[in-house]
Amino acid sequence: MSDLRNNFIVIEGNIGAGKTSLSKKISEEYNAKLILEQFADNPFLPKFYNEPERYSFQLELSFLADRFQQLKSELNSPDLFKSFIISDYFFTKSLIFSKNTLNDDEFKLYRKIFNIIYSSLPKPDLYVYLHLDTENLINNIKKRGRNYEQEIKPEYLDKIQNAYFDYFKQQKNFTFLVIDTNNIDFVNNPKDYEKIKKAILNTKYEKGLNRVIL
């Protein structure tokens, strides 16, 4: 990497977009500190996918607490032997998902709690969003075979995607990079990985919403 531009990079995306896979590949190659979202042991997640109306508030509150605790600890404990920090999520994910899963009264309360604690977290230098069409997301979800994800509906993925883009348009002080990855396979194709890596690590972007098609 010829020019390290960002000390804290976030790789986000919808469910099944490949954000964790890409974060791992970059961290391994560049000796970056890797922060991965911890969700496998969340007891509310399988229940939510089966009964979303019943378990949405419990799920979102548990994610809020877990994400804040993890990011607060990891971001305030720099590793001098790592070149930069890369994470497969950021705290604002809590707000984006909860807006689509909670009713209005629940979301108002949730947002108050979110705003109180959000200000104490460091913000990313670059916020990357991996964009995949819903059909490709569904295919990826099926391939990785998590039982509790197999009932996810395309309509739910569409809502999450729209919520991300609404959020990007509202934020003026972040540098967002939306990468269309529908035509590449950065996990299995080294040339595609080089393309997306160059877009993220070796290109300068202005604040606001930036778009790249690979």
What is the rounded radius of gyration, in angstroms, for the C-alpha atoms of the chain?
A: 17
> Residue 4's closest CA among 120, 82, 118?
82
DSSP symbols for 70-139:
HHHHHHTS--TTSS-EEES--TTHHHHHHHHHS-HHHHHHHHHHHHHHHTTSPPPSEEEEEE--HHHHHH
Going by C-alpha positions, the residue among 171, 170, 152, 185 that lies closest to residue 17 is 185
41 is catalytic: no
Among candidate residues 3, 41, 66, 88, the one labeled active-site is 88
Q: How far apart are CA 206 and CA 77, in angstroms?
A: 28
| Number of other residues whose CB lies within 10 A of the CB of residue 76 | 10
Query: Bridge-partner residues for 70, per DSSP?
Result: none
Would the CA dihedral through 203, 205, 209, 162 be positive or negative?
positive
Q: Does the CA dihedral 51-57-60-66 come out positive or negative?
A: negative
**Dist CA 82 CA 94 (whole Å):** 27
Give catalytic residue positions: 88
